[in-house]
């Protein structure tokens, strides 16, 4: 296995939240995945991946052991795993595809899939039926375009509502909010005691997947219509979601400083133990500031729906792969429930498979968060998703600073976004 540096010419790379902290994994080379029948499969497979497991020795050991275990079942397949940095990964892949030097298999996240769809070999026919049926439905949806799986999921991140027990104790409140109405009902009490009810990041550089889109989905809305030809965020649900944020802002239930800028976490009221609950952060990032005993993981907020954002990492086969049966066997092996579970625990992610059960049973933070893996979505799989986010974010910010009303802002954003969609 090799670690390589990607080219460094500037591009606008798609963003990914590397939301996990690293920890050691059990790299037992006797553990195998897939359904273990070489069937005469032979060839060469090159895979590009990235440091989802932040600890480099642990990451290297996982892939070395996995290749060895795979070769015990498929001795005639030569596998090379190359680890690239996150930076400029899209440029590196695009350049390789254009130059006919692309890998056979590559790690992608959902908002990359539409961009590379014409270069991806659908994976459905290469996965064992048992493993394919084991995926959570929301995970399958996260990699499916036109009815075909464009990657085999290997990991999942999960967001939910996270509340600060120290703040709740200071206010004398023992019940945590479950709905938007609960949040608004509790907010004046927290405000009177000098606390913010929640936090909202309005900086236009922030991903709406973490701020506005969860509210849009909870209100029953979506970013695009069913066939992706027009945006749908200017619906009644979109207006309700934006009015909810507007109410939080106008009543002073959030810190106004974060509406137009994104200061380092340690400089925010969140880190200063002045915020009751947040929905845009994984709880392990809050332990250093709140103390593990004060990090309370709750279900995602609900309005019309109960849903939250969480990304999915998958392995995709490129159409240019010469030995597709070998590449498919490798992907099926690596993403099997047992093998992928080792990867997930090493990276502090969550399993995409129902059969795995709990990876973090007894853990008061990750064990709680794990319960909500079935309530997440990656958002729209649309090639224009990032462009649409770019025109919508400033309009939302205009509402937050009092320059526009929600309906007008969403209508203006929809007009500009639909022009991008053609």
Closest to 317 measured CA to CA, from 306, 307, 325, 305? 325
pLDDT of residue 37: 54
% of the chain beyond a pLDDT of 70: 91
Separation of CA 126 from chain center: 24
Least confident stretch, 18-22, 85-89, 404-408? 18-22
> Are the folds of 2-8+27-155+313-356 and 161-309+384-421 the same?
yes
Q: What is the pTM of this model?
A: 0.88
Distance separating alpha carbons of residues 267 and 288, to the nearest angstrom: 13
Task: Report the pLDDT averaged over residues 25-51.
Answer: 66
Tell me the pLDDT band of 40, cut-offs 50, 70 and 90: confident
What does pLDDT average to over the chain? 91
Asked whether the beta carbons of 77 and 111 are under 8 A apart, the reply is no
| 123 pLDDT higher than 60 | yes
Q: Show me where the domains of the chain are located.
A: 2-8+27-155+313-356, 161-309+384-421
Of the ranges 17-26, 29-38, 178-187, the best mean pLDDT one:
178-187
Dump pLDDT digits (tens) for 156-169: 999 999 999 999 99
Work out the average pLDDT over 269-273.
Answer: 98
| pLDDT reported for residue 422 | 81
Given a cut of 80, whether residue 12 has pLDDT beyond it is: no
Give the model confidence (pLDDT) of 124-147 as tens digits.
999 999 999 999 999 999 999 999
pLDDT (0 to 100) of residue 39: 64
**Mode of pairing for the β-strands spanning 144-145 and 105-108:** unpaired
Q: Is 2-8+27-155+313-356 a domain of CATH 3.40.190.10?
A: yes
Rounded Cα–Cα distance for residues 419 and 392 (Å): 13
Rounded-to-integer distance, Cα 236 and Cα 281, Å: 27
Q: Which superfamily does CATH assign the domain made up of 161-309+384-421 to?
A: Periplasmic binding protein-like II (3.40.190.10)
Average pLDDT over residues 346-359: 96
Quick one: three-class SS letters along the chain?
CEECCCCCCCCCCCCCCCCCCCCCCCCCCCCCCCCCCCCCCCEEEEEEECCCCCCHHHHHHHHHHHHHHHHHHCCCEEEEEEECCCCCHHHHHHHHHHCCCCCCEEEECHHHHHHHHHHEECCHHHCCHHHHHHECHHHHHHCEECCEECCEEEEECCCCEEEEHHHHHHHCCCCCCCEHHHHHHHHHHHHHCCCECCCCCCCCCCCCCCCHHHHHHHCCCCCECCCCCCECCCCHHHHHHHHHHHHHHHCCCCCHHHHCCCCCHHHCCCCCCCECEECCCCHHHHHHHHCHHHEEEECCCECCCECEECCEEEEEEECCCCCHHHHHHHHHHHCCHHHHHHHHHHHCCECCEHHHCCCCCCCCCHHHHHCCHHHEECCCCCCCHHHHHHHHHHHHHHHHCCCCCHHHHHHHHHHHHHHHHC
Q: Could you read off the pLDDT of 232-248 as tens digits, one per residue?
A: 999 999 999 999 999 99
């Amino acid at each position: 296995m090799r670690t390589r540096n990607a080219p460094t010419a500037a591009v606008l790379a798609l963003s990914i939240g590397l939301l996990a902290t690293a920890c050691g994994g059990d790299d037992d080379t006797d553990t195998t995945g897939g359904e273990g029948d070489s069937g005469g499969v032979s060839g060469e497979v090159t895979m590009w991946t990235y440091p989802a497991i932040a600890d480099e020795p642990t990451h290297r050991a996982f892939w070395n052991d996995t290749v060895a275990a795979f070769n015990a079942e498929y001795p005639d397949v030569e596998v090379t795993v190359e680890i690239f940095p996150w930076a400029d990964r899209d440029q590196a892949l695009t350049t390789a595809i254009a130059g006919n030097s692309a890998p056979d298999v590559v790690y992608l996240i959902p908002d990359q899939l539409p961009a590379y769809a014409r270069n991806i070999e659908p994976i459905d026919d290469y996965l064992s039926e048992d493993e394919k049926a084991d995926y959570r439905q929301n995970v399958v949806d996260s990699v499916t375009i036109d009815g075909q799986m464009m990657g085999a999921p290997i990991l999942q991140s999960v967001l939910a509502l996270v509340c600060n027990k120290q703040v709740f104790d200071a206010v004398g409140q023992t019940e945590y909010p479950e709905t938007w109405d609960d949040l608004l009902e509790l907010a004046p009490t927290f405000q009177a005691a000098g606390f913010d009810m929640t936090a909202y990041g309005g900086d236009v550089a922030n991903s709406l997947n973490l701020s506005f889109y969860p509210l849009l989905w909870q209100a029953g809305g979506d970013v695009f219509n069913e066939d992706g030809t027009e945006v749908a965020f200017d619906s009644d649900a979109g207006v309700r979601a934006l009015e909810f944020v507007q109410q939080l802002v106008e009543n002073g239930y959030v810190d106004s400083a974060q509406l137009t800028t994104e200061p380092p976490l340690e400089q925010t009221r969140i880190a200063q133990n002045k915020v009751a609950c947040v929905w845009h952060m994984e709880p392990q990032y809050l332990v250093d500031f709140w103390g593990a005993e004060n990090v309370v993981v709750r279900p995602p907020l609900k309005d019309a729906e109960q849903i939250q954002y969480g990304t999915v990492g998958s392995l995709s086969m490129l159409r240019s792969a010469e030995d597709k049966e070998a590449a498919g066997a490798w992907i099926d092996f690596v993403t099997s429930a047992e093998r992928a579970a080792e990867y997930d625990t090493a990276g502090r992610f969550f399993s995409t498979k129902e059969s795995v059960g709990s990876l973090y049973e007894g853990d008061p933070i990750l064990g709680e968060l794990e319960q909500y893996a079935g309530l997440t979505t990656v958002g729209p799989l649309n090639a224009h998703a990032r462009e649409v986010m770019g025109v919508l974010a400033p309009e939302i910010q205009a509402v937050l600073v009092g320059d526009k009303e929600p309906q007008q802002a969403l209508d203006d954003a929809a007009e500009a976004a639909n022009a991008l969609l053609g």
